[in-house]
C-alpha cells in the first residue's frame, strides 16, 4: 500500500511517500480502507519531535489520527463491525497511521460513519469532536445555564466545542479574528471577542468553564475570567500529574510533568479554581454519542480545505500555519 512516513524528527522534516505492506488487523481490530484522513496540529507536533518523551514512537512512522473509510477485514474477536461498513475513528496512540491506503483500528475506538456526512466531512470530526466532548462533558461537567469561554472559536476544536456547548445549553463566549466573527456566531457563539480589537480579559467575567487551547500567557489570563469554583481545561498544556499517571509515564517523566504544571496548579488552587490538562483519547462509545448529535443536526463539520493524498505535506504545512477555519482533510480515495 502507499503511505506517507516520517523517517526522522525535526521541524524541517517532510513525510516520504513509501510503499509498505498492508497491515494485518489484530484480533480486536478491523482493517479500514482509508477514504479520507483528518489533519491535526498533533500530527505536525509529533513530526517536529515535541512528544518524543510521552509518545516514544519508532521510526519510520506513518502519521495521521483521523480516518473515515470502509471496513475490509475484521479480527476474530470483532463483533460490532463487518466488511463493507462505512466507519470513522480517532485511531489509538501507538496505532496511528491514517496517512495511508489502509489502517487497522481497534473495535473499541470505531463508530459507524454519520449517515448525513461525506467521507471527507466524517474524517474531520473524530479528534476534535472527542476533544470537545472529553473537555466539556467529561472533565468540566458543563451544565445548562453555565457560561463557558472557548478560545479560538474558528479552529478545529473551537468550531465543534461551540456547537456542543450550545447543545448542552450553556452561554458561549469565544475569541476569533475579524474575518471569522460571522462564522463563530453562525455556530452559536453568544459573545465574540475580536482579538485584534479587544483583550478578552477586559470583557469576560464570572465564567464557569474555560477551554484553553492557546499559550501560557493566555492560560494565566484565563484564570481571571472564572468565578470561584470554576474550571479551566487546557488542551495545550502544561500537562498535569493525573495525565502522566494515566499514560503510565516513567518516574522521571512524572517528575518533569509535575514541575511543568506546578505554577498554574498552585495559582489555580489559591483562586479556588480547578485546573486539568486534557490529552484526548480514542473512544468509540463517545464517538457514537457525537454521531447522534451530527445526525440530529446539532453539530455540523466545518472544513477549510481538502487536499489530495499526494499533497499530504502541503496539508500538514497549512495546518501548522494556524490559519485554517475548522478542519483540513486529505482525500485518500
What are the boundaries of each domain within the chain?
2-125+301-331, 128-277
Whether the predicted pLDDT of 209 surpasses 90: yes
What is the pLDDT at residue 329?
A: 98
What is the pLDDT at residue 245?
A: 86
What is the pLDDT at residue 52?
A: 87
What is the pLDDT at residue 105?
A: 98
Split at pLDDT 50, 70, 90, the class of 255 is: very high
Q: Convert the pLDDT of each residue in 271-291 to its tens digit.
A: 999 999 999 999 999 999 999
Split at pLDDT 50, 70, 90, the class of 247 is: confident
Whether the predicted pLDDT of 250 surpasses 90: no
What is the pLDDT at residue 302?
A: 98
What is the pLDDT at residue 249?
A: 82
Backbone dihedral region for residue 125 (phi beyond 0: left; psi -120 to 50: alpha; all else: beta): alpha
Split at pLDDT 50, 70, 90, the class of 301 is: very high
Whether the predicted pLDDT of 323 surpasses 90: no
Helix (H, G, I), strand (E, B) or coil at 235: coil
Query: Which architecture, in CATH terms, is 128-277?
Result: 3-Layer(aba) Sandwich (3.40)
Contact between 30 and 115 (Cβ < 8 Å): no
**Topology adopted by domain 2-125+301-331:** Quinone Oxidoreductase; Chain A, domain 1 (3.90.180)
Whether the predicted pLDDT of 55 surpasses 90: no
Q: What percent of the chain has pLDDT over 90?
A: 92
**Beta-sheet strands, E only, within 59-180:** 61-62, 66-74, 86-90, 102-106, 110-112, 147-150, 171-176
Whether the predicted pLDDT of 252 surpasses 90: no
Amino acid at each position: 500500500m502507499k503511505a506517507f512516513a516520517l523517517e526522522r524528527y525535526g521541524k524541517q522534516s517532510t513525510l516520504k511517500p513509501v510503499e509498505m505492506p498492508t497491515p494485518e488487523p489484530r484480533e480486536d481490530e478491523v482493517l479500514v480502507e482509508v477514504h479520507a484522513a483528518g489533519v491535526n496540529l498533533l500530527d505536525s507536533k509529533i513530526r517536529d519531535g515535541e512528544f518524543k518523551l510521552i509518545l516514544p514512537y519508532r521510526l519510520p512512522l506513518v502519521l495521521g489520527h483521523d480516518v473515515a473509510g470502509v471496513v475490509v477485514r475484521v479480527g476474530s474477536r470483532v463483533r460490532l463491525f463487518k466488511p463493507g461498513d462505512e466507519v470513522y475513528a480517532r485511531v489509538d496512540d501507538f496505532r496511528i497511521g491514517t496517512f495511508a491506503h489502509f489502517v487497522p483500528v481497534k473495535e473499541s475506538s470505531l463508530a459507524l460513519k454519520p449517515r448525513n456526512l461525506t467521507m471527507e466531512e466524517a474524517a474531520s470530526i473524530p479528534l476534535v469532536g472527542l476533544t470537545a466532548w472529553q473537555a466539556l462533558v467529561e472533565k468540566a461537567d458543563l451544565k445548562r445555564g453555565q457560561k463557558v469561554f472557548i478560545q479560538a472559536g474558528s479552529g478545529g476544536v473551537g468550531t465543534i466545542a461551540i456547537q456542543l456547548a450550545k447543545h448542552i445549553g450553556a452561554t458561549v463566549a469565544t475569541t476569533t479574528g475579524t474575518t471569522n466573527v460571522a462564522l463563530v456566531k453562525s455556530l452559536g457563539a453568544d459573545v465574540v471577542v475580536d482579538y485584534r480589537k479587544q483583550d478578552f480579559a477586559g470583557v469576560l467575567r464570572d465564567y464557569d468553564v474555560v477551554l484553553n487551547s492557546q499559550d501560557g500567557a493566555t492560560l494565566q489570563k484565563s484564570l481571571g475570567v472564572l468565578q470561584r469554583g470554576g474550571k479551566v481545561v487546557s488542551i495545550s498544556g502544561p500537562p498535569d500529574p493525573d495525565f502522566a499517571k494515566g499514560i503510565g509515564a516513567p518516574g522521571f517523566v512524572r517528575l518533569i510533568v509535575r514541575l511543568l504544571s506546578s505554577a498554574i496548579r498552585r495559582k489555580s488552587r489559591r483562586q479556588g479554581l480547578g485546573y486539568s490538562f486534557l490529552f484526548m483519547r480514542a473512544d468509540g462509545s463517545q464517538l457514537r454519542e457525537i454521531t447522534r448529535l451530527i445526525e440530529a443536526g446539532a453539530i455540523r463539520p466545518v472544513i477549510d480545505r481538502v487536499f489530495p493524498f499526494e499533497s499530504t505535506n502541503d496539508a500538514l504545512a497549512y495546518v501548522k500555519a494556524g490559519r485554517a477555519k475548522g478542519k483540513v482533510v486529505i482525500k485518500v480515495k
